[in-house]
Amino acid sequence: MESEALSDVAGVPIFLKLESEQPTGAFKLRGAWNYLGCIPEQRLQTGIITYSSGNHGQAVAFAAGKKGVTAVIVMPETAPRWKVAGVRRWGGEVVFAGVTSAAREAKAREMAAELGLEVIPPYNHADIIAGQGTVGLEIVHQLGEVQHVVVPVGGGGLIAGVTVAVSALKRAADIVGVEPDGAPS
């Protein structure tokens, strides 16, 4: 979607990829959906587990629900109530563990081993990155002559996927990672 206000300020056309329009409100659904699609059905029968502070957890719960798979989401004790409610809305079971990513991952891996659950990583896996990369594919297909792509950086899965996709289709495009001044990764 073109942003006329930003285009006027920048003096060049600026387009926004509105991932907030995804059913779960973020691009994370792309990676979760792709990852689940890559897991053999027999490994999904006991369920899946992930660790997330919110958006990835909601995405995994949504994708699992659509596929009829049980999903456990390990979240920080300090998770915003609305993110916890989002996971539950999509059918995920919430388990709280500490306040750090390391604490969440440790709890998820412990439960996976104990219950035979498949672990879905939040960003650092090729199948997650490939799913996030569909953002880049759509940008090139929808805009064609894109010269610059600006991508927010958090865990790195989105920018990795977008970089692979855009570079494969549009070698001359520049890709720039950005993060907020007040909340850098």
State the average pLDDT over residues 166-180.
91
Q: What is the pLDDT of residue 170?
A: 80
State the average pLDDT over residues 57-77.
97
Token representation of residue 68: 């009829």
Confidence bin at 148 (pLDDT 50/70/90)? very high
Token representation of residue 130: 């490939």
Q: Does residue 121 carry a pLDDT above 70?
A: yes
* Residue of 17, 20, 52, 53 marked catalytic: 53
Residue 149 and residue 15: Cα distance in Å, rounded? Answer: 10
In the chain, what percentage of residues exceed pLDDT 70? 99
Pairing of strands 48-51, 71-75: parallel
Q: What is the pLDDT of residue 182?
A: 83
Q: Does residue 183 carry a pLDDT above 90?
A: no
Q: Does residue 33 carry a pLDDT above 90?
A: yes
In the chain, what percentage of residues exceed pLDDT 90? 92
Confidence bin at 67 (pLDDT 50/70/90)? very high
The reply to whether 66 belongs to the active site is no
Taking alpha carbons only, the member of 136, 121, 123, 138 closest to residue 39 is 121
Q: What is the pLDDT of residue 184?
A: 67
* Residue of 28, 83, 107, 170 marked catalytic: 28
Confidence bin at 185 (pLDDT 50/70/90)? low
Mean residue pLDDT of the chain comes to 95
Backbone angles phi, psi at 110, to 5 degrees: -60, -45
Cα→Cα distances 111→51, 116, 168, Å: 11, 8, 38
Q: How many CB atoms lie within 10 A of CB 132?
A: 29
Confidence bin at 35 (pLDDT 50/70/90)? very high
The reply to whether 53 belongs to the active site is yes
